[in-house]
Amino acid sequence: MEANKEIDQLVRETIPIYTRTNPHPVRKRADCRLERNYKNGLRTMMTADLRTGNQDRVVAKYKAKVAIL
């Protein structure tokens, strides 16, 4: 149970979804619907990868994917 909470927290920190109350720090706006859907998909894939793979490698992989957004 604790491992799931830690994985969920790591996923949320790695792939942030910006809202009106928590806008992007540079662009000062919330994510659009397409960005939210894409990030939710990445979060799902990252969660599955974390349960089966090396944590450091998985985090680096998904940080690189989110950096371009």
Nearest-angstrom CA–CA distance, 64 and 25: 18
**1 pLDDT tier (thresholds 50, 70, 90):** low
Q: Is 69 helix (H, G, I), strand (E, B) or coil?
A: coil
- Sketch the domain layout of the chain as residue ranges: 2-67
Q: Is 68 helix (H, G, I), strand (E, B) or coil?
A: coil
Between 34 and 5, the more confident residue is 34
pLDDT digits (tens, 9 = 90+) for 9-67: 999 999 999 999 999 999 999 999 999 999 999 999 999 999 988 889 999 999 998 98
Q: What pLDDT is stored for residue 54 in this prediction?
A: 86
